[in-house]
A and B are shown apart, each in its own frame.
Chain A
Amino acid sequence: MIKRFLYAFPTLLFIIFIVFLFLHLVPGDPAQVMLGVGASEADITVLREKLGLNRPLIVQFTRYVTGVLRGDLGDSFAYRKGVAQVVLERFPATLELTFAAMILACCIGIPLGVESSLRQHSSFDFLCRVIALVGVSFPVFWLAIQLMYLFAVILHLLPLSGRGGPVYTWNGLTHIILPAVALSSIMLPSTMRLTRSSMLEVLNQEYITVARSKGLREIVVVYKHALKNAVIPVITNIGLQFGMLLGGAFLTEHVFAWPGIGQLTVNAIFRRDFPVVQGVILVTALAFLVLNILVDISYAYFDPRVRHEMVKNA
Chain B
Amino acid sequence: MRGQSSRTTSMFILTWRRFAKSKGGLLGLALILLLFAMAALAPWIAPHPPLAMDQKAIYSPPNLKYLLGTDELGRDILSRIIFGSRVIIKVCFSATLVASLVGIALGVMAAYRGGVIDDLIMRFADVLLSFPAFLLAIALVAFLGANVLNIILVIALTRLPRYARLIRGSALSVKQMEFVEAARAVGAGHLFIILRHVLPNCLGPIVVFSTLTLGDSILTISGLSFLGLGIQPPAADWGVMLARGKEYLLTAPWIAFFPGIAIFLTVMGFNLMGDSFRDALDPKSL
Contacts and interface: CB of A to CB of B under 8 A. Distances in A.
Nearest to A25: B143
A139 B242 contact: yes
B132 interface: yes
Contact of A126 (B24, B132, B227): B24
A168 interface: no
Q: Say what secondary structure dominates the interface of chain A.
A: helix
Nearest to A18: B127
Give me the 3 closest cross-chain CB pairs, A-B, nearest first.
Answer: A247-B132, A26-B143, A137-B267
Contact of A149 (B140, B222, B249): B249
Interface residues of B, number: 40
Interface stretch (A77-85, A107-115, A155-163, A265-273): A265-273
A260 B166 CA distance: 34
Interface in B165-221: 215, 219
B227 A266 contact: yes
Contact of A200 (B23, B267, B284): B284
B285 interface: yes
Nearest to B250: A149
A246 B256 CA distance: 28
Interface stretch (A9-17, A65-73, A226-234, A298-306): A9-17
Interface of B: 23-24, 119, 123, 126-127, 129-135, 138-140, 142-144, 215, 219, 222-223, 226-227, 242, 246, 249, 256, 260, 263-264, 267-268, 271-272, 275, 282, 284-285
Contact of A136 (B119, B131, B226, B271): B271
Contacts of B129: 288, 292
A265 B143 contact: no
A258 interface: no
Nearest to B223: A251
B135 A138 contact: no
B134 A250 contact: yes
Given A145-B246, A251-B223, A288-B130, A137 B123 contact: no
B226 A133 contact: no
Contact of A281 (B135, B256, B284): B135
Contacts of A201: 284
A285 interface: yes
Contacts of A140: 219, 223
26 contacts: A11-B123, A15-B127, A15-B131, A18-B127, A22-B139, A23-B143, A26-B144, A129-B275, A130-B24, A133-B275, A137-B263, A137-B268, A139-B219, A141-B223, A142-B242, A189-B271, A200-B285, A244-B132, A246-B132, A247-B132, A266-B227, A269-B138, A281-B131, A284-B131, A288-B130, A289-B130
Given A18-B127, A126-B23, A139 B260 contact: yes
B226 A137 contact: no
B242 A137 contact: no
